[in-house]
Amino acid sequence: MLSTAIKAAHRAGKILKEYFNKSYKIESKDVISNLVTEVDKKAEEVIFRTIKKDYPTHNLLSEEFGALDKDSDVKWIIDPLDGTINYAHSIPICCISIGVEIRGKIIYGVIYNPFGKELFTSEKGKGSYLNGKKITVSKVSNIGKALLVTGFPYMTSKYNQIPAKIFIEFVSRDIPIRRLGSASLDLCYTACGKFDGFWEYNLNPWDVAAGYLILKEAGGKITNFGNRRYSIYEKEILATNGLIHNQMQKIIESVIRKVF
């Protein structure tokens, strides 16, 4: 299955590169800033075809298509273009994400950034790799020396404003933060030690399925904001190198208490 995921990611990557910085159809989904492009759909189609050829009886869950349930123990969780807004503005910070869930556990993860030529792969129990080289999380143990990354939800509400308030709290402590616009790459870059911690709210399974495994297998830690066991089907994620996890979680928790 890992080889099929890699094959599908490479094929979708060719489509992303083919249409990059060119003219194509762009639409809005639930809100005007939540975009979907013709390229998202073309990449999704080639991923589906690749998987169906090798595993025709497996379930599929993808951002644009939705769910295809064939009553299988195996589910492929796909984001054909994570970072659509970046892509639509010709910013080459985006990727393809493919995770494979078997009986409720993520077993394989592949994330491919065709512009940076970065192929992240992982198999449960066998570590994580970038272009075939094993990766591990950073060794930073003091949050004051950490580099963090985050993202913000499209829709606003009292709870959705919490990530912004958390952002302000971290910034007020002189902790540098980046916002790349791709949760999948945020997780991968935390897995290989570029970032030390990541948090975000209002994500979907296709945003995190592959990245979750890649970070875990690289030695990282993932929980929800309450420091409880994480599921890719819930909305909030705190992912770190493990060493600054409790420090980040306490800061996040203090902000949430103030809001509620």
| Contact yes or no for 184/200 (Cβ under 8 A) | no
Give the pair of three-digit tokens for residue 35: 């975009």
Every domain of the chain and the residues it spans? 2-134, 143-259
For 127-148, write each residue's pLDDT tens digit.
999 999 999 999 999 999 999 9
What pLDDT was estimated at residue 216? 98
The CA distance from 209 to 202, in Å, is 14
What pLDDT was estimated at residue 160? 62
CATH classification for the domain delimited by 143-259, as one of 3.40.190.80, 3.40.50.720, 3.40.640.10, 3.30.565.10: 3.40.190.80
107: region left, alpha or beta (phi > 0 left; psi from -120 to 50 alpha): alpha
The CA distance from 45 to 132, in Å, is 27
pLDDT 10s per residue in the chain (260 long)?
Answer: 999 999 999 999 999 999 998 877 776 655 544 667 789 899 999 999 999 999 999 999 997 777 778 889 999 999 999 999 999 999 999 999 999 999 999 999 999 999 999 999 999 999 999 999 999 999 999 999 999 999 987 665 555 677 788 999 999 999 999 999 999 999 999 999 999 999 998 899 999 999 999 999 999 999 999 999 999 999 899 999 999 999 999 999 999 888 76
- Residues near 109 by beta carbon (within 8 Å), at least 6 away in sequence: 5, 97, 98, 99, 100, 120, 121, 122, 128, 209, 210, 211, 212, 213, 214, 217
β-bridge mates for residue 200, sequence order: 237
What pLDDT was estimated at residue 260? 67
Among residues 51, 48, 43, the alpha carbon closest in space to that of 18 is found at 43
- Strand runs (DSSP E) across the chain, as ranges? 26-28, 35-37, 59-62, 66-68, 74-82, 95-102, 105-113, 118-123, 128-130, 133-134, 148-150, 177-178, 197-201, 221-223, 236-240
What pLDDT was estimated at residue 155? 60
The CA distance from 8 to 47, in Å, is 5
Phi and psi at 88, nearest 5°, equal: -65, -20
What pLDDT was estimated at residue 38? 85
What pLDDT was estimated at residue 191? 98
> Hey, what CATH topology would domain 2-134 get?
Fructose-1,6-Bisphosphatase; Chain A, domain 1 (3.30.540)
What pLDDT was estimated at residue 157? 56
